């Protein structure tokens, strides 16, 4: 006896087309793995006239999402955006159909509500494809580390900005030149602001925090800075200090709550995240017992993202057959999201200062007055009698560090602060 | 209402002690995550007189494994070795208790039988701790990639040998000196042969292949070479070519079957595995749709390995409560294990040759006669009129490469072959 599960596919873009291909080409293997034949029953698109190739037969193409959802056991949502995706996912979950989605924007806004709806209806809402493409990260966080306590997650979760920063590092080029090249290579969207201003990474940060800490978080709780202010000089200074600049999504747990932030970050070249080149993604996890783990792989692309969708689909099918859906469970008591001023980080600063006796002492005194301790200080003389001073601090709250920077900026011996960047890792 | 699941712990060494500590210290969190109170009901050890600290109360300590197993819902086996571990695990599974183990030696010998026994009894046999310590790799392979086709896995799965090779690379020291140091630091067993001769990595290779390809494989099907023949000169030559030598466990799938091998391997310094330093482990996975993934973390140690055990335990508890054990399923048709002569790899060779006209041509002709194509050839003159020749081949079968090496060795212009090493990655 063959059991058949009907699969409705909402959206047939790059990822959706790959999902349809895999459902067709690997049908036998998928059946062996899931225990049921996975039959593509409908493909919902806006433009039903377009030819979508051999893996999406015309007779399955429809614009009637409701009918497609109501006739399916499993629903794959790859339309993106808030609406109508949200309405469709709610409809499917309410009917008890499990849903697989890659929609980070929706989950970062409505995740907790949708998880609750899934749980109420004994359905699953899976979303491995929403963070770091093909990299298995959500299942390891939720299951493999279920007996441990995750304290911090740092991710390179936006391939476009990693491609840009990596190229700046390798070639010494400036941001504009590299962005033009990335755009020509198709690594940037027509409107690159979601990438370069950090919003894409921020949505993923909220999802990582939700899974790592078991409480619902949304994108507006994430402090977000993009890479637009990173200069070739910053990259060069990092290189001289054996460091590299990466756009990191950092989420961390303390007694007080969870702190989420996205910003350009200095890390040592010895750190595993420093070896993540080009458009690759990686997620670095610190857990109380496991120590430091890293998950690395392609963060985007049709086939890699489809791999994540298919893994979720096979597991949803298995659980459906066994009557054992495993809905995402969030803590009964929500965990507070903390303001970025509470973040404990190290700062690297570059200052233009007068090259005169006593300058270093005066600046160091300002740091001491604010309770910020200096790890390293280095002065490079300029030809014109001015000097550049580079300071790396020990860890302090962002509140104290920002107050220090403001006070230093008021000193008459300081001509300007040319760079302030956070430092992560040892 | 609180549901309690009784947990029997067999073995209380470094990892077992950490498991007991976590069960006590994190009891509330474990209950929230698993849905049941996880109560340590017995700790089975040989020496019942020893004081085992605050987390292992004396009244739980016993030498009666049968009674402990029969009174438990979940059994954790951390004794190691084949017997009595095998008998105890079979007893637990036969009673329907799920078992969590870190026993790679046992699984690499009897894995398929034990998985079948678990499935028959609706129990789970989980073993994340058996490969690469804390790194979540088995669940990602079995679940996250359930909708994809894994083609190759390359792992740095033995921390001791990675520590040694990494130190040789960084310090230019030779094997014996570094081994002495590793031994003093506790990175080597009293009898280091299981590590340095590759047997530990071979057991893990068999397990990785079992999970990645869904068929049972055993350690005696793994071609195994250790690191004892790696010289400081090999490491230096690798460095000059911007490569590094790693002991890799490589398992790969072709139409004909699965090939498993453990050997010192040259990889480019740009490869993600090259950035794995010290005693860390990493597993690099190639899948048809996902592309290249890597999982990185500590490969040993009490707390990290206990983290993997606890993840398995929480999931086993959850599944037991839901009545939805997920036993490891192997393919009905076993997949053939192929002989290492069928391996397709690249070779790097170092030869001592006469420094005379025509020598290169004669050697190149031998390669051509055997159908092995040369990627790069480089000659370094010696002072004494001899020369060293370094050759890197394109990919060929080990059969063809070995025949080539034998034929080259017979040429009168070749004084000796000083190094033959396989190359992986691009």
Residue B60 shares a structural domain with residue B72: yes
Which DSSP state fits B230?
-
Q: Are A168 and A175 in contact (CB under 8 A)?
A: yes
d(CA A97, CA B164): 52
* Nearest in space to A293 (alpha carbons), one of A165, A148, A160, A161: A148
d(CA A23, CA A78): 15
Which range marks the domain in which residue A400 is found?
Answer: 343-423
CB-closest option in B26, B275, B326 to A149: B26
pLDDT at A383: 63
d(CA A191, CA A197): 11
CB-closest option in B304, B314, B331 to A146: B314
Q: What residues of B form the annotated binding site for NADP(+)?
A: 10-17
Do the annotations mark residue A321 as ligand-binding? Answer: no
d(CA A125, CA A74): 10
CB < 8 Å from B in window 381-410 of A: none
Distance from CA of A236 to the nearest CA of B (A): 21
Number of Cβ pairs < 8 A linking chain A and chain B? 180
Q: Does residue A10 form part of some domain?
A: yes
Phi, psi angle pair for A413, to nearest 5°: -80, -5
Residue B88 shares a structural domain with residue B120: yes
Residue B114 shares a structural domain with residue B172: no
pLDDT at A262: 98
Q: Does residue B266 form part of some domain?
A: yes
d(CA B333, CA A29): 13
Q: Does residue B330 form part of some domain?
A: no
Q: Are A228 and A197 in contact (CB under 8 A)?
A: yes
Q: Which residues are bridge partners to A8 per DSSP?
A: A42, A75
CB < 8 Å from A in window 126-145 of B: 128, 134-136, 139-140, 143-145
CATH of the domain at A306: 3.40.50.720
Residue A179 shares a structural domain with residue A234: yes
Residue B288 shares a structural domain with residue B380: no
| Bridge-based pairing state of the strands B344-354 and B396-397 | antiparallel
The answer for residues whose C-beta is within 8 angstroms of residue A275's C-beta and 6 or more apart is: B272, B274, B275
pLDDT at A178: 94
d(CA B192, CA B159): 12
> Which of A9, A122, A155, A289 is best to mutate for the B interface (most B CBs within 10 A)?
A289
CATH of the domain at A419: 3.30.70.260
pLDDT at A195: 93
Q: Does residue B77 form part of some domain?
A: yes
Which of A264, A280, A297 is a domain's end point? Answer: A297
Residue B308 shares a structural domain with residue B358: no
H/E stretch holding A376: strand A374-381
Residue B314 shares a structural domain with residue B359: no
Q: Does residue B331 form part of some domain?
A: no
pLDDT (tens, 9 = 90+) of chain B, 426 residues, equals 789 999 999 999 999 999 999 999 999 999 999 999 999 999 999 888 888 888 998 999 999 999 999 999 999 999 999 999 999 999 999 999 999 999 999 998 899 899 999 999 999 999 999 988 889 998 898 888 999 999 999 999 999 999 999 999 999 999 999 999 888 888 788 888 999 999 999 999 999 999 899 888 999 999 999 999 999 999 999 999 899 999 999 999 999 999 999 999 999 998 999 999 998 999 999 999 999 999 999 988 899 999 999 999 999 999 898 887 777 777 778 899 999 999 999 999 999 998 888 888 999 999 999 999 999 998 887 667 788 899 999 999 999 999 999 999 999 999 999 899 999 997
CATH of the domain at A162: 3.30.360.10
Taking contacts as CB-CB distances below 8 angstroms, the residues of chain B near A323 are 324
Q: Does residue B284 form part of some domain?
A: yes
Strand locations in A11-108, DSSP E? 37-44, 61-62, 74-77, 98-101
Taking contacts as CB-CB distances below 8 angstroms, the residues of chain B near A297 are 290-294
Residue A117 shares a structural domain with residue A187: no
Tell me which chain B residue has its CA closest to the CA of residue A301. B290
Distance from CA of A358 to the nearest CA of B (A): 41
Tell me which chain A residue has its CA closest to the CA of residue B29. A147
Residue A197 shares a structural domain with residue A269: yes
- Point out the residues of B that are catalytic: 204
CB < 8 Å from B in window 26-45 of A: 26, 29-30, 32-34
Residue B55 shares a structural domain with residue B84: yes
Taking contacts as CB-CB distances below 8 angstroms, the residues of chain B near A310 are 146-148, 289
Phi, psi angle pair for A324, to nearest 5°: -135, 55
Asked if A315's CB is within 8 angstroms of B146's CB, the reply is yes
Q: Does residue B337 form part of some domain?
A: no
Distance from CA of A156 to the nearest CA of B (A): 14
Taking contacts as CB-CB distances below 8 angstroms, the residues of chain A near B318 are 146, 326
Do the annotations mark residue A358 as ligand-binding? Answer: no
d(CA B138, CA B150): 13
Asked if B147's CB is within 8 angstroms of A309's CB, the reply is yes
d(CA A74, CA A113): 19
Asked if A292's CB is within 8 angstroms of B143's CB, the reply is no
Q: Could you tell me if B306 lies within 8 Å of chain A, comparing CB atoms?
A: yes
Distance from CA of A416 to the nearest CA of B (A): 38
Q: Which stretches of chain A score pLDDT less than 70?
A: 382-383
Distance from CA of A319 to the nearest CA of B (A): 8
Q: Could you tell me if B323 lies within 8 Å of chain A, comparing CB atoms?
A: yes
Structure token pair of residue B104: 């790679």
Structural domains counted in chain A? 3
d(CA B216, CA B327): 14
Phi, psi angle pair for B408, to nearest 5°: -60, -40
Asked if A293's CB is within 8 angstroms of B297's CB, the reply is yes
Q: Could you tell me if A308 lies within 8 Å of chain B, comparing CB atoms?
A: yes
Residue A259 shares a structural domain with residue A312: no
Q: Which of A6, A152, A167, A204 is catalytic?
A: A204
Q: Does residue A115 form part of some domain?
A: yes
* Nearest in space to B86 (alpha carbons), one of B94, B408, B248: B94
Q: Helix (H, G, I), strand (E, B), or coil: what is residue A73? A: coil
Residue B125 shares a structural domain with residue B192: no
Terminal CA-CA length for chain A? 58
Terminal CA-CA length for chain B? 58
Q: Could you tell me if B112 lies within 8 Å of chain A, comparing CB atoms?
A: no
- The CA R_g of chain B, rounded to the nearest whole Å, is 24
Structure token pair of residue A113: 């509500």
């Amino acid at each position: 006896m063959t059991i058949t599960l009907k699969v409705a596919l909402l959206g047939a873009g790059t990822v959706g087309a790959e999902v349809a291909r895999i459902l067709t080409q690997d049908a036998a293997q998928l059946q062996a793995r899931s225990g049921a034949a996975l039959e593509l029953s409908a493909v919902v698109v806006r433009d039903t006239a377009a030819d979508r190739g051999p893996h999406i037969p015309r007779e399955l193409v429809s614009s009637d999402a409701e009918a497609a959802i109501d006739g399916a056991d499993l629903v794959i949502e790859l339309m993106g955006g808030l609406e109508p995706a949200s309405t469709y996912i709610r409809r499917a979950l309410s009917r008890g159909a499990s849903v697989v989605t890659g929609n980070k924007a929706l989950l970062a806004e409505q995740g907790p509500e949708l998880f609750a709806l899934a749980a109420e209806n004994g359905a699953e809402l899976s979303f491995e494809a929403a963070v770091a493409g093909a990299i298995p990260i959500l299942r390891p966080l939720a299951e493999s580390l279920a007996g441990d306590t995750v304290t911090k997650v740092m991710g390179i979760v936006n391939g476009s900005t990693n491609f840009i920063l990596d190229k700046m590092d390798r070639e010494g080029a400036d941001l504009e030149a590299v962005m033009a090249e990335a755009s020509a290579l198709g690594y940037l969207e027509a409107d690159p602001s979601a990438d370069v201003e950090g919003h894409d990474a921020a949505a993923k940060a909220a999802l990582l925090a939700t899974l790592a800490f078991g409480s619902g978080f949304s994108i507006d709780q994430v402090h977000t800075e993009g890479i637009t202010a990173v200069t070739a000089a910053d990259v060069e200074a990092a290189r001289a200090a054996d460091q590299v600049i990466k756009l990191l999504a950092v989420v961390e747990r303390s007694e007080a709550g969870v702190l989420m932030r996205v910003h350009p970050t200095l890390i040592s070249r010895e750190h595993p995240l420093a070896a993540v080149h080009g458009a690759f993604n990686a997620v670095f996890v610190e857990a109380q017992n496991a120590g430091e783990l890293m998950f690395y792989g392609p963060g985007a692309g049709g086939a890699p993202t489809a791999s994540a969708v298919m893994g979720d689909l096979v597991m949803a099918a298995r659980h459906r057959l066994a009557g054992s859906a495993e809905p995402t469970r969030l803590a009964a008591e929500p965990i507070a999201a903390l303001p970025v001023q509470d973040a404990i980080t190290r700062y690297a600063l570059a200052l233009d200062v007068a090259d005169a006796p006593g300058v270093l002492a005066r600046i160091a005194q300002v740091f001491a007055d604010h309770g910020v301790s200096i790890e390293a200080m280095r002065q490079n003389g300029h030809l014109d009698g001015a000097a550049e001073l580079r300071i790396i601090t020990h860890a302090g709250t962002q509140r104290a560090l920002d107050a220090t920077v403001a006070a230093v900026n008021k000193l008459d011996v300081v001509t300007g602060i040319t760079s302030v960047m956070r430092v992560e890792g040892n």
